[in-house]
Every structure is written in C-alpha cells, then in structure tokens.
Amino acid sequence: MTEPTPDSPRPPIAAAVIVKGGRVLLVRRRVKEGTLSWQFPAGEVEAGESAGEAAVREAQEETGLTVAEAKVLGERVHPATGRTMVYVACDAVSGEATVVDDEELVEIAWAEHGQLAEYVPYGFFEPVQQYLDSALSA
C-alpha cells in the first residue's frame, strides 16, 4: 500500500529577519522543530500572499512588532525540517517586540552579532549570514 500524496505541496515558510539597533530578533518556539529552538519569526505563506507579506504578518502575529519588507534574502529547503524557507529582511516600523503568540512562542531575544552562535550554534543559511554580518556590524 502506498502513502497518499497531497494534492499540492505544503506552502513555503516565510521568515522575517528583523535587524534593529545593531541586533536581530530571534524567537524561541514552545515546540522545537528537530534541533531548532531559536529562529526568526516565521510561518506559512497563505494563499494569495507573497513571502514578504507573510513575513510581515507573522512578525506582527507572533511578536506584535510592525515591520516592512525590505528584500528577499534567499530561499532554500531547510535541512532540518525539509520545508521550503524564504528569508525576508524586514525593517522595524513601530512597536516593541514581545511574546504575543504564547501558544507558539516561549520568549524573544534581540541578539548582537557576537551572540548569534549562542542562540543558533549550527549557523545560518549563507545569504542570511552575509546579510547579518553586514547589518549587525554597521
């Protein structure tokens, strides 16, 4: 017997890479995804929505922070989750980041460049790392 296949592939995940004041916003999920604990605010791209729009929406829903899409940094199939990820650089517009979606998130952190390995010891997708190297050293 074969496993049923879905009619369409799962939608991609849009991740908001938000840099403000020389730090990047990371969130810790209540339920780890494999080895992933700390990550960017992120969620599935909904029907009719661009990855940038999804990243902006997810940042608002999860942290209460209003952001604006700046540019797409890159896309890949995540090696730990097997999901297509689209990384979107976002500019903070207003608000203060807090845990808004406490069903999904446990805590948030604003990490400086030198702290990134403490939160994400396995490193970042190369285009994201290059962006953070540049944005967090400015």
pLDDT computed for residue 5 by the predictor: 47
Domain 13-135 class?
alpha beta
pLDDT at residue 4, as a whole number: 44
- Average pLDDT over the chain reads 90
Q: How far apart are CA 137 and CA 89, in angstroms?
A: 16
Structure tokens at 27: 């969130």
* Residues listed for the chain: 138
Strands annotated E in the chain: 13-20, 23-33, 36-39, 42-44, 66-77, 84-94, 105-111
CA distances from 72 to 8, 52, 105, 133, 134 (A): 24, 7, 24, 16, 15
Higher pLDDT, 75 or 31: 75
Check: CB of residue 13 under 8 Å from CB of residue 44.
Answer: yes
pLDDT of residue 36: 63
Q: Residue 62: is its pLDDT beyond 60?
A: yes
Quick one: what percent of the chain has pLDDT higher than 90?
A: 75
Lowest mean pLDDT among 9-13, 53-57, 60-64, 126-130: 9-13
Domain layout of the chain by residue ranges: 13-135
Average pLDDT over residues 33-60: 91
| Model confidence at 33: pLDDT above 90 | no
For the record, the structure tokens of 83 come out as 């999901």
pTM of the model: 0.90
Rounded to an integer, the average pLDDT of 106-110 is 95
Residue 19 CB burial class (10 angstroms; 0-12, 13-18, ≥19): buried
